[in-house]
Amino acid sequence: MTTDMPGARSFGPLPHPGEPGPQPLLQVDGVTLQYKTEKHLVTATYRVSFDVYKADRFVVLGPSGCGKSTLLKAAGGYMAPTEGSMRLKGVRIGEPGPDRVFVFQEFDQLLPWKTVKQNVTFALQSSRKMRGRAAEEQAMRYIEKVNLGKFANSYPHTLSGGMKQRVAIARALAMEPDILLMDEPFAALDALTRRRMQEELLRLWADTHFTVLFVTHSIPEAVLIGNRILLMSPHPGQVKGELNSAGDDPVDPVSGRKLSDRIHEMLFADRVEEQEVVPHG
Ligand code: ADP
Ligand code: MG
């Protein structure tokens, strides 16, 4: 931790149940991310710190504009911190790589001129993860996992929004990345489809225990998806606190409710906003 800001990590690092080794998979340490535009310097996140362990469903929860997408971009290697560091397996993140794969909100993230199977196979081949027959088999394995086996030869425009997102998830999981970076992947879906997709993601997780860094502005979604939840303040994003939802059953109305209540309390406690902590320059 390089931050000396009292608001950051106000609840302290939480013990991680079942965590075998001391080293987190992803270490985000005092990360400030800024955009330099012609006229302005925009501070997207300010001294954000958190650790993601293997098999975590780590949720970053915060309002629009608090820097969630920017954090994911930096984890993906598309943007460098102006302060602090991000490490994957102890190595500073420098550039994008197949060990970190994105799923976005947009339905147009698939290649429209390729079928479902070709989309997944192409990702494996172009990252040189696999080729030929092996890539096709791996693609089909993951397409089956998201229950789209019958649609392997369909083109994206013939699929519903939910189905397209399932293809994007299959494509990402087929890469078997160290960490899956999900940027509000279900935000554009209708409420019922969204709920079904959330449960499907949990079912996939129960199957393969992948590690996911999932960002959302939805409290119910955070409570449902995350085993750990990082709360961010509004722009510029700072850490308000971290919650460990292990032991809480989000589907159980009482304990799911308790967790949401804790989140509400933390979001409306004015710890961070009271401080003048936004340096520009
Ligand atoms: P979130 O994903 O939480 O909604 P973002 O990471 O997209 O937030 O944005 C964080 C802040 O950075 C916002 O104030 C946004 O306007 C600003 N921002 C995002 N992208 C750019 C960019 N390319 N250039 C300048 N400012 C940007
Ligand atoms: Mg965003």
DSSP string, 155-190: -GGGS-HHHHHHHHHHHHHHT--SEEEEESTTTTS-
Q: What is the pLDDT of residues 133-159, one digit of tens each?
A: 999 999 999 999 999 999 999 999 999
Q: Is the dihedral of CA 82, 83, 86, 87 positive or negative?
A: positive
Residue scoring higher pLDDT (61 or 257): 61
214-224 in b/e form (b: 16+ CB < 10 A) is bbbbbbebbbb
pLDDT at 118 > cutoff 70: yes
106 domain-assigned:
no
Determine the distance separating the centroid of ligand 2 and the alpha carbon of 212, expressed in angstroms: 16
Whether residues 154 and 187 fall in one domain = no
- Per the structure, the complete domain to which residue 93 belongs is given by 26-99+178-268
> Residue holding tokens 């990590």?
9
| pLDDT score of 266 | 83
Q: Do residues 42 and 78 share a domain?
A: yes
Residue 229 CA to ligand 2 centre (angstroms): 17
Residue 73 has pLDDT above 90, yes or no: yes
Using the mean position of ligand 2's atoms as its centre, give its distance from the Cα of residue 53 in Å: 23
Task: Determine how β-strand 57-61 pairs with β-strand 212-216.
Answer: parallel
Q: How far apart are CA 245 and CA 219, in angstroms?
A: 13
Ligand nearest to the CA of residue 68, numbered in listed order: 1
Question: pLDDT band at residue 11, thresholds of 50, 70 and 90?
Answer: very low
For residue 15, the 8-state DSSP code is: P
Average pLDDT over residues 113-129: 95
Question: Residues lining ligand 1, judged by CB closer than 6 Å?
Answer: 35, 37, 42, 44, 62, 64-70, 235
The residue among 76, 4, 68 whose CA lies nearest residue 235 is 68
Residue with CA at minimum distance from ligand 1 atom 10? 67
Whether 139 and 200 map to the same domain: the answer is no
Domain presence at residue 5: no
Report the half-sphere exposure of 214 (CA within 13 A, side-chain side): 28
Q: Is the pLDDT of residue 216 over 60?
A: yes
How confident is the model over 181-199, as pLDDT tens digits? 999 999 999 999 999 999 9
Residue 278 has pLDDT above 50, yes or no: no
pLDDT tier for residue 275 given thresholds of 50, 70 and 90: very low
Question: If you average pLDDT over every residue of the chain, what do you get?
Answer: 88
Q: Tell me if 274 is assigned to some domain.
A: no
Give pTM, 2 decimals.
0.87
Which of 46, 69, 240 to mutate to test ligand 1, by most ligand atoms within 8 A of the CB atom? 69
145 and 126 in a single domain? The answer is yes
Is residue 111 scored above 50 in pLDDT? yes
End residue of a domain, out of 141, 176, 211: 176
Which among 221, 120, 222, 216 is positioned nearest to 176, based on CA atoms?
A: 120
Check whether residue 252 and residue 135 sit in a common domain: no
Question: Which residue's CA is the closest to the ligand 1 atom numbered 27?
Answer: 35
Q: Residue 245's closest CA among 202, 192, 183?
A: 202
Please report which confidence band the pLDDT of residue 258 belongs to, taking 50, 70 and 90 as the band edges. Answer: confident
The CATH number for 65's domain is: 3.40.50.300
The beta-carbon contacts of 109-112 under 8 Å, at least 24 apart in sequence, are 109/164, 109/168, 110/156, 110/164, 110/167, 110/168, 110/171, 111/156, 112/155, 112/156, 112/157
What is the number of the ligand 1 atom nearest to the C-alpha of 63?
3
Residues 182 and 244 in one domain: yes
